[in-house]
Structure 1
Amino acid sequence: MADAAHPIDIDDLTAPRLTEVQRSILEYAEAHPVDLKIDRIVEEAAALAGADDLGDDEGFGQRLAAHVDAVEQDEGLTQVARRTVRDRVVRLVRNRLSLVDLLRRYPEIETIPIEKPLIVVGMPRSGTTHLVNLIAADPQRRSLPFWESQEPMPLPGHGPGPDGRDARFHSIKAQHDALESTSPLLAAMHDRFPEAIEEEIELLDLDCASYVLEWHARVPGWRDFYLGLDQERHYRYMRKVLQALTFLRGPRTWVLKSPQHSEQLGPLMATFPDATVAFTHRDPIAVVQSTITMMAYSDRLRRHAIEPDWLVEYWTDRVHRLLSASVRDRALVPAERRVDISFHQLNGNEIPLLEQLYARAGAELTDEARRRFQNYLDDNPRGKHGRLRYDLPGHFGVTAEELRERFEFYFDAYDVRIEDPSA
């Protein structure tokens, strides 16, 4: 674990010096090319699920094909990255098959109410993860831990082990530990340990309908395809998965979160009309800087070349699209059920903000919840795994001022403080 008292400098971010272990992993993977043929992926998923019914959505095959084709178009991926994507697609299809089978056996699942969720909406790296993990400490809340987001449907015959932990937890922990050993600084950027609360759009991708693939590969074709989908339909599918998870692990009020919701506020509110939404806000340049730094670091194993100019151009545009849609559509969330939270407020002022959020939701904030909130804050100070020192000009050849010009509309709309890009 990094020392939180000292900043972390990544002096090889865009020209990585690989360790012997990293080189060995890449060399082995390149010697074993990955096949992304869809029929083989579906066959493998069906064998794991013990089921072969993908449901009655005739468009799923088209979306799955577009998903995989976008990856095939990315010629810069290493075989390590292609293996990761293939494993992910097999997992998504397997879970979809298992969900169809579960709903066939227990049709009453689709009558389970998903009422009055709290939903955190904001840019990547804007405090959404901190806020949703904090709210999830309330024992009255149902949330989506990372292990469950990756494997929402249990495999046939799998249950808790001798330690009482779900078999899916142990599988995801093994993957997390392996990633931590090969990319140790990821925890300082976004630590996806098994119990960490994750985004429900991972569930949406059982329907091949989210923006998540953009975080795994360079897929502008998928971005455009995803943006053309009828998301009300797909958000209803995501709600169905939440109903299944409620059936499997308990009927509590959900807390959800995703940056993707920023550009899907219409479908979000159509699906969860009684939701209360917490919008997080942060200097967009800090968001872009943090995002492309994390992507560049991850790309040392995922790509043959880092291409910092591409990262700047793509993710500046992506954040701009997300923020533009959020500003345009925020009135779709009733004023009495939305709260705006600036990033600079999420550092010692969390409890009053939670009081405001719970009041807007008409939810009880119990003494037990307050105690657990404080315990979480005490155990998870900012920079727990170390703080990165950023260098936009040095790593990416661009200044904060050059990027900030595109986001004046956002500063006009919200209380957002300009941040020191090197902090």
Structure 2
Amino acid sequence: MTRAAGRSRASELIDRAKAAVSLEDFGDDGFREGLEILVASADAEARFTETGRAAFDGQIIGFLGQRLQVEDWYARHPEIDEQEITAPLIGLGLPRTGSTALSCLLAEDPAVRFIRTWEGITPCPPPRKETEHTDPRIAIAEESMARRNVLFPRMKIMLPSTATGPTECQTFMGHDFKSQLFQAFARIPTYTDWLNYRADLVPTYRYVKRVLKLLQWRCPPTRWRLKNPSHSMFITALDEVFPDARYWMTHRDIGAVVPSVCDVYYELSKAYSDEVDTRFLGEQNSAWTELGLRRVIAFRDAGNDDRFFDIHFAPFQKDPFPILEKLYAFLGEGLTAETRARMQAWREAMPRDKHGAAPHDPAAFGIDLAALRQRFGFYAERFDVAPAA
């Protein structure tokens, strides 16, 4: 079947999403720019296999359908917008720096709220407090993660997660089609360049806030703990939407970080393409990491440094509790005995390398470690990050 004249592939995906959920209203129309650029970039540059193309289209339709459902809930319950998101704690740590483990430990505090994996996949209908631990979407998410482990067998080593554990807001940013999520599995340089240098992320973060309000509406608490490494890239937009946020930032030798991130991208990409350019992955990840670090350092140096709590990888891995005590003091909160016990139980149940190790070769991505460390000398000096032994 030929495409109707003048109709883009993005428009066709929009129509398929509307038909799938029998809804029409997407809310703010700003998402369309990112969607058009993303789909055009993927069609021209991603080198998808047939399976990869189908998976990409399915993801786009799913995100559009979730966006339609979010707006439908707001239309039927406008009081949701009266919810307030106050002083969230947001993690900006680079990937592969212990940020996932820290996020999971913080989520063990029963007084805080976080985005659970199953909520990130399917936020609608908004959860209820009385069924948050028995919601049928938990089992659905577990089945989805089991399929992921078959498709991406090394991911459970690289990024271990559970259906009820914390996840990032990348998916909700994806509903607005301004998210690093897409470049993690697709070669889309045109879209990535637009996202990094020309996209306006303020509406995206307003949308994320909209979804957070929906999630806490019937399912408190309301003291949010969030984490997303790519927030460093868009820190000024994030600050405009969450001006009272405070931040933690994890640090590690860049020579251990960037090659490991490249390996994650490779593991995801190879399931969707037979032509994965590993050297492209090396430069892409080096470039966005540098850009994000320079932007967040500039933000900190512009009078915001006291809003940040810094954590170094090695001491955190050795014993996180002295650091967690200091983080709670930074927040003006107390680390209760119950929370500490829950954190300890999580740590014992999820030891580092529980599923094995994930070795990687920097040279496979065109990375010279000495040159990489020299390139990021500004970061190592600013945060006193020593090269790994």
Common fold by TM > 0.5: yes
SS of residue paired to 1:277: strand
Contact 2:48–2:273 at 8 Å: present in 1 too? yes
How far did residue 65 of structure 1 move?
1.2
Structure 1 length as normaliser, TM-score?
0.84
- The aligned counterpart of 1:205 is 174
Matched, 1:187 2:156: yes
Identity %: 29
Are the structure 2 counterparts of residues 275 and 414 from structure 1 closer, same or farther at C-alpha, using a change threshold of 3 Å?
A: same
Residues 142, 251 of structure 1: 8 Å contact kept: yes
Counterpart Cα distance in 2 of 1:103 and 1:79: 37
- In 2, distance between residues paired with 1:164 and 1:354? 26
Q: What is the rounded CA distance, in whole Å, between the counterparts of 2:277 and 2:88 in structure 1?
A: 40
The aligned residue for residue 376 of structure 1 is: 346
Cα distance, 1:309–1:45 mapped onto 2, change above 3 Å = same
Aligned-pair CA distance for 1:387: 1.2
**Shift in Å, 1:377:** 1.4
Question: Residues 145 and 197 of structure 1 are in contact (CA less than 8 Å); yes or no, is this contact kept in structure 2?
Answer: yes
Gaps of 5+ in 1: 1-35
- Asked whether the 8 Å contact 1:338–1:360 carries over to 2, the reply is no
Aligned residue in 2 for 1:61: 32
Cα RMSD (Å): 2.3
Aligned length: 380
Amino acid across the alignment from 1:200? C
1:142 to 1:283, Cα distance in 2 relative to 1, 3 A = same
Distance 1:100 1:187 in 2: 33
Mapping for residues 242-281 of structure 1, pairs under 5 Å: 242-281=212-251
Query: After superposition, what is the alpha-carbon deviation per residue over 1:13-46, rounded to whole angstroms, capped at 9, x for unaligned?
Result: xxxxxxxxxxxxxxxxxxxxxxx93333223322
CA-CA distance at 1:317 after TM superposition: 1.4
Partner of 1:170: 139
Provide the secondary structure at the position in 2 that maps to 1:95.
Answer: helix
Cα 1:381/1:412, change in 2 over 3 Å: same
Secondary structure of the structure 1 residue equivalent to 2:239:
helix
**Match of residue 38 from structure 1:** 10
Q: Corresponding residue for 2:5? A: none
Distance 1:268 1:349 in 2: 31
2:59 alignment partner in structure 1: 88
SS in 2 for 1:58: coil
Give the counterpart of 1:351 among 316, 321, 324: 321
Matches within 5 A, 1:386-401: 386-393=356-363, 395-401=364-370
Amino acid paired to 2:9:
K
Q: Is the 8 A contact 2:132 2:219 kept in 1?
A: no
Q: Secondary structure at the match of 1:142?
A: coil
1:52 aligns with 2:24: yes
2: distance between equivalents of 1:268 and 1:333?
16
| Distance verdict in 2 for CA 1:333–1:346, change over 3 Å | farther
Q: Match of 1:401, as an amino acid?
A: A
Matched residue SS, 2:250: strand
The equivalent residue for 1:19 is none
SS at match of 1:339: strand
Q: Distance in 2 between matches of 1:75 and 1:209?
A: 17
TM-score, normalised on structure 2? 0.91
Please give the alpha-carbon distance, in whole angstroms, between the structure 2 residues aligned to 1:216 and 1:333: 36
For structure 2, the 5+ residue unaligned runs are 1-7
Match of residue 283 from structure 1: 253
Displacement of 1:254: 0.7
Equivalent in the alignment of 2:189 = 220
- Partner of residue 309 from structure 1, selected from 275, 279, 292: 279
Residues 1:94 and 1:338: Cα distance change in structure 2 (over 3 Å): same
Distance 1:374 1:332 in 2: 37
Q: Hey, what's the Cα distance between the residues in 2 that align with 1:390 and 1:66?
A: 32
